[in-house]
Structure 1
Amino acid sequence: MSPDPTRLGALLREVAATEILPRWGRIETDTKGDGSLVTSADLAVQQRLTEALAAEYPGIPLLGEEMSEAAQQARLTESPEGVWVLDPIDGTGNYACGFPGFAISLALVRHARVELGVVLDPVRDECFSAVRGAGATLDGTPIAPFAPGPALGDCIAMVDFKRLPPKRIPALLRPGGFRSQRNLGAVALEWCWLACGRYQLYLHGGQKLWDYAAGRLIAHEAGVAARLYRLGGVTPVETLDLEPRVALAAADRPLLALWHDFVALPLIET
């Protein structure tokens, strides 16, 4: 059975209503080995979706953020029927602090590429989805990026400064790069908001597969121009693995070319 994004969106809404929203604003956090946060809601969402997806789509295992790296690698390389890639709460830091910028991100990877993506924003009750080759939607309505003008200075940029080397930041703030800058702190939503025109330029210094898999497909299907790079790389890559990626994207190809020149890769030396 081919997974239905509408059904998946309903499943994510059900899980968010029972596991995420009731805990929001009054939840304790733990710190993982990489310094990122995890909550009981992350674990509960991952467990619920692991069970629900296995029941509806047997034979397709799940790769979740809250699994060991060894288990993640095994799921990615040993799943001939495909693998679900899940970030149970993308933007856990926001969620734990009560900031309304987080999402559930679910993607289906088959034959080394993302075939389907669904991202649910529980606070705004917005569900973004895409199937490869079929466009992208927000609650069933087609979406597309929007550029208010042809110059970088016409645009709002989403830039995650946290993962960029401090010595590279001053150059990104020089005149001509963007009209204004934001940082949401939830990668899946950042891709989706770019896809539906809420900003025009994107730069992120290190996102993992579960961060970008669903959101980037949604952006691609909406018409966003985007490239992913290995840390320290200058050549775009499409390989799906567990290594972090630098993301560079824009509302259209001409803006991406200007943004690429302005940013000046490589951003991060390895």
Structure 2
Amino acid sequence: MSNHPFTSPEQWEKLKTGIVQLAKQEILTRFEKITAEVKQDGSLLTEADIEMQKKTKAFLFENWPEFSFLGEESNQEEQIKALQSNNGCWVLDPVDGTSNFASGIPVFTVSLALVVQGCVVMGLVYDPSRDEMFAARKGMGSELNAKQFKAQTPKQTLKQCIGLIDFKRLPEELAIKIIKDNPYASQRSIGSVALDWCWVAYGRGQLYCHGAQNIWDYAAGYLILNEAGGMSCTLDGKDVYVNIVEKRSAVAATTPELFKQWQNYLTKN
């Protein structure tokens, strides 16, 4: 396991408690009270995004100054430089699901990961609306509100499953295929990549497919799914996590058996 402070129970609790407090203070207090502006890439930005990133960065540097910081709202040059740090790098999405947040839909999270030597060693995803903290440390399993869990579901075939599918970012041909075939029992798109990963890990949805997500969207959830025993890869069968700032596709499932069926379906002509 990589050397980092969060193998210590005291440091682990300090981190989780700090993020919960900041999310309640900087995000929940602004919910349904503010408007959003449109960023250059077409995504939304709110005061909650800006303040949560600023306050979280200060909290992390105050307590763990050895790590660099990559936030969604940082500029790309800063993001790339931070990820190249030899000591380790925080990866933060201050509000994952900003469109939901700005629309008054209570499905959004804070996603925070720690990357050391190109490997995600810690991840937490906090859902303030439900007061749920999904978290994982490499080699130490996954937890929901401090209770360990394993990725499991009684569902054994695709036709029994709920699929969490983001059609907008999929290749057109694949999106049409899925819509036409309807290979699952039901489909959702909840609007938060970090929660997608956590809910599949927990079995709330059993299948997942997304065409293009950023490192701050998926890093924490990726570790949480892996540590719970779920499986994932890109649409072309590679590891989802890469230690660079680029958009990645993701295919995932709660169990190895469902993952094999899901991957076979998606890659079959």
TM-score bracket for this pair, using the shorter chain length: over 0.9
- What TM-score, normalized to structure 2? 0.93
Q: In the alignment, does 2:159 pair up with 1:153?
A: yes
Match runs of 1:23-172 below 5 Å:
23-77=30-84, 79-172=85-178
Partners in 1 of 2:117 and 2:257 — Cα distance? 31
Look up the equivalent residue of 1:14 and give its one-letter code: Q
Q: How far 1:228 sits from its partner (Å)?
A: 2.9
Q: How far 1:144 sits from its partner (Å)?
A: 2.0
Look up the equivalent residue of 1:264 and give its one-letter code: T
Mapped contact 2:202–2:254 kept (Cα < 8 A): no
Q: 1:256 aligns with which of 242, 256, 259?
A: 259
Gaps of 5+ in 1: none
Look up the equivalent residue of 2:187 and give its one-letter code: Q
Going from structure 1 to structure 2, the CA distance change for 1:43 and 1:134 (only over 3 Å counts) comes to: same
Partners in 1 of 2:253 and 2:23 — Cα distance? 30
Q: Which range moved further: 139-148 or 117-126?
A: 139-148
Mapped contact 1:195–1:251 kept (Cα < 8 A): yes
Look up the equivalent residue of 1:158 and give its one-letter code: L
Going from structure 1 to structure 2, the CA distance change for 1:135 and 1:179 (only over 3 Å counts) comes to: same
SS at match of 1:173: helix
RMSD: 1.6
Going from structure 1 to structure 2, the CA distance change for 1:176 and 1:258 (only over 3 Å counts) comes to: farther
SS at match of 2:13: helix
- What TM-score, normalized to structure 1? 0.92
Match runs of 1:205-220 below 5 Å:
205-220=211-226
Match runs of 1:220-235 below 5 Å:
220-228=226-234, 233-235=236-238
Gaps of 5+ in 2: none
Q: How far 1:238 sits from its partner (Å)?
A: 4.1
SS at match of 2:60: helix
Q: In the alignment, does 2:242 pair up with 1:239?
A: yes
Partners in 2 of 1:25 and 1:38 — Cα distance? 14
